[in-house]
Amino acid sequence: MTAPHTASGAVATGLATVTPDGTVLDTWFPSPELVTEPGPAGSERLNPVHAGEALGESVAQILGPDPVRGVEIVAVRTVIASLADKPVDAHDAYLRLHLLSHRLVAPHGANLDGVFGLLANVAWTSLGPVQVDRVEEVRLAARATGAHLAVTSVDKFPRMTDYVVPAGVRIADADRVRLGAHLASGTTVMHEGFVNFNAGTLGTSMVEGRISAGVVVGDGSDIGGGASIMGTLSGGGKQTISLGERCLLGAEAGIGISLGDDCVVEAGLYVTAGTRVTLPDGETVKAVELSGASNLLYRRNSTTGTVEALQRTGSWGGLNAALHSHN
């Protein structure tokens, strides 16, 4: 469960990868903490003694230059004065992403305004983060040491599992979950599933579709294979979408509105905010007017082509307990 959000800020000690021009490629915070009186925001570099006290003796071997990647590993102590304030730098942004993936804050529990501007675009490699414009140099340097450099992605966000592995989850393909995702215990993310930062699940869920940035999925809900949940970062989506508890978003279905509890969307039906939906009494409304309503079945009438919302009761079968009880 995500901790009740009473703390105003956070403090953590971590290891950052820094380029010669001072660009922060990443910061790993193994044990971030929420605190009520964190002090002024910002990051300070720690000397090896203080770093060792906070992170363990082995840190001494980690700190310093990495000649193959042309970067330096430094220890930092980062303070977030208030999670309501915007992040001030890359260390701060990384700490917020860690807080989400450690389930210390729920999606929307920390201000992430401007995060794309603070994070460098990074080549994520088998040797750790590398400057994008130095990949070929680093590849050669790696070969000289007998290592093969594998580049798994070029992105501003690393995959979550390289920084945080929350308890009680299964993730079939680690590339599909970005750092900053919030996966509650009991969540399974199958290969087609995807979970963006500042988004995720609040309880047991089967995720075989895409949970876009900002989207929150309630306990007991199932996101079917290839399903789409619209985000707000690009493409004009304006609604921040949530699904309530015990919902079923069918395979290849999609929603641009929120669902309350106990809703079902038929496989293959995309309900956008403007979709005209016919109600049982024959009235037609825009789907956005139903946003957040519970106990509805959305389907496209396969005889008439009309999208319908039917009142529903009872269970669609619910999650398969056997798939979730041993996460």
Ligand X SMILES: O=C(O)C1=N[C@H](C(=O)O)CCC1
Ligand Y SMILES: CC(C)(COP(=O)(O)OP(=O)(O)OC[C@H]1O[C@@H](n2cnc3c(N)ncnc32)[C@H](O)[C@@H]1OP(=O)(O)O)[C@@H](O)C(=O)NCCC(=O)NCCSC(=O)CCC(=O)O
Using the rule CB under 6 A, is 106 a contact of ligand Y? no
Using the rule CB under 6 A, is 323 a contact of ligand Y? no
Q: Binds 250, which of ligand Y, ligand X, none (CB < 5 to 8 A, cut-off by type)?
A: ligand Y
Using the rule CB under 6 A, is 188 a contact of ligand X? yes
Using the rule CB under 6 A, is 323 a contact of ligand X? yes
Furthest CA-CA distance within the chain = 73
Q: Which residues pair with 43 in a beta bridge?
A: 78
Q: How far is the CB of 222 from ligand X (least distance, A)?
A: 9
Stretch that binds ligand Y, among 58-66, 162-170, 229-237, 259-267 (CB under 6 A): 259-267
The amino acid present at 303, given as its one-letter code, is T
User: Which of 100, 195, 266, 319 is in the footprint of ligand Y by CB under 6 A?
Assistant: 266
Stretch that binds ligand Y, among 93-101, 103-111, 154-162, 219-227 (CB under 6 A): 219-227
Q: Assess whether 37 carries a catalytic annotation.
A: no
- Cross-sheet strand order for the sheet of 170-171: 170-171, 187-189, 205-207, 221-223, 248-249, 264-265, 296-300, 307-311, 276-278, 284-286
Using the rule CB under 6 A, is 301 a contact of ligand Y? yes
Site size toward ligand X, by CB under 6 A:
4
* Cβ neighbours of residue 177 closer than 8 Å, sequence gap 6 or more: 159, 160, 161, 171, 183, 189, 194, 195
Beta-strand pair 284-286/276-278: antiparallel
Beta-strand pair 9-18/170-171: unpaired
- The closest of 268, 273, 257, 258 to 301, measured between CA atoms, is 268
Using the rule CB under 6 A, is 190 a contact of ligand X? yes
Tell me, what DSSP letter sits at residue 48?
H
Q: How far is the CB of 209 from ligand X (least distance, A)?
A: 12
Q: Binds 50, which of ligand Y, ligand X, none (CB < 5 to 8 A, cut-off by type)?
A: none
Give exposure, 116-127, as e/b (b: 16+ Cβ within 10 Å): eebbeebbbbeb
**Binding mask of the shown chain, residues 8 to 27, with x at each position contacting ligand Y by CB under 6 A:** --------------------
- The closest of 161, 148, 145, 167 to 195, measured between CA atoms, is 161
45 annotated to a ligand binding site: no
- List binding-site positions for succinyl-CoA: 210, 225, 228, 251, 266-267, 274, 286, 299-302
Site residues (vs ligand X, CB under 6 A): 188, 190, 206, 323
Mind telling me the catalytic residues?
208
